[in-house]
Amino acid sequence: MLTENQLQKVKSLQGKSLLAAIGGLIVAIGWGFLNGSMFQGLLIGYLLIFALGVSSLALVMLHHLCGGSWSFVAQRIAEAGSRTLPFLALVGALVMGGALMFSTVFPWANAEFLNIEENHLIKYMSHEKEAFLNIKTFAICFVGYFAVWIGFMLAFNGWSKKLDDTGDPKYISKMKIWAGFGCVFYVLTMTFAATHWAMSTDPTFFSTIYGAWMIAGGALSMMCFCVIMLTWLSDEGPLAEKVSPQIYHHFGNFMLGFTIFWSYLSFSPFLIIWYGNLPEEIGWYLHRSGGGLAAMTVVLIVGVWFTPMYLLMMRNNKTNPNKLRKIAFYILATRVVDMYWNIAPSFENNHNTIGWGTVVSTLGAVAGIGGLWLWVFLNELKKRPILPQQDPREELMFLKEKAHNHG
């Protein structure tokens, strides 16, 4: 379990997170209402925080499928993050429900928009896309996505709890087998969810790797969050004996890998559209090529891709907890820029310009929804021991880690 000092730190952070949530929601709702950008900002902020929760589930499954010593120290953090999915489902229903009522968020949800024959956007919408982009399908899929995620969350957290209590190795076998199926369902559902919740803000654009982009961004965010939590909790207690510079090095390597993967997924659609000379798809990029958005593109290239990649290539930065924590905070901040650039210019009032109303409401939503999510996460983290209790794989993995370090 957490030590007394750690529990006090958690309670203190919970109080601060609630204050941040109240202030952020006041800004997001108040400022956004005055500027007509409330649900625009709430959608972007929600997707950023949602990525942490759903990626926690992915990390749990990855851990049981092929994890190592690095994933054992993050197992409880990931499990606590996955148990926030019911909270994210509730918040998502409120945000998505409100967003569907405004044509500035999901244009296809506006009957008047769809009935305008001369609307140049309609001619690019195939019958298949119209069947997918409607409120009934959206609602059914929303429930289906969370049913799958929460189902896997309950299963893996339940088996993990039983393994703690009994030490029965049959639960290890169950988790390993179902982790493979879970990863497949996770990729499929996240691909469709990214299409529904993010890419459909511009119903004329389509990309087969858009879902992979969201998966990569969420995985990067979760790795950074794990680093921050480990550096915060490993000063004493059970984690102090397990978390070594080599463990941080593993996390740094994952952060580097997902940074490069994110860069590849971000650039590939542009390269394909440019090389194929596809004018029906270039509008998505034209909306991001004017005004301050052109400068934001440069910021993405330099600040979100090159800078983290350069810093994470240095071994000293990955084995030093303080340096790696700072890099993790930096990457989480750049994720806001990335999500804004990918979604906000799709809104009509943000074409070729940085909509400052949307920017402020987005920042407020990140603080508001993020503060509430952090409170729920910390509450879940307190409920279980910070390390697995009777998992025989744990000792074996750490013995291998010590042998490797000694060699």
In a domain, residue 131? The reply is yes
In a domain, residue 4? The reply is no
Residue 312 has a pLDDT of 96
User: What token pair was written down for 352?
Assistant: 């070729």
In a domain, residue 225? The reply is yes
In a domain, residue 12? The reply is no
Residue 259 has a pLDDT of 95
In a domain, residue 105? The reply is yes
- The number of distinct structural domains making up the chain is 1
Residue 39 has a pLDDT of 94
In a domain, residue 167? The reply is yes
Residue 253 has a pLDDT of 96
Residue 239 has a pLDDT of 87
Residue 289 has a pLDDT of 85
| Mean pLDDT (10-residue bins), the chain, 407 residues | 88 96 95 87 97 97 86 93 98 95 82 56 58 89 98 97 91 93 96 94 87 95 97 89 90 95 91 81 84 87 93 96 97 95 90 88 97 98 89 65 52
In a domain, residue 405? The reply is no
Residue 366 has a pLDDT of 97
d(C-alpha 256, C-alpha 250), whole Å: 10
In a domain, residue 7? The reply is no
Residue 136 has a pLDDT of 92
Residue 157 has a pLDDT of 97
Range of the domain at 374: 21-397
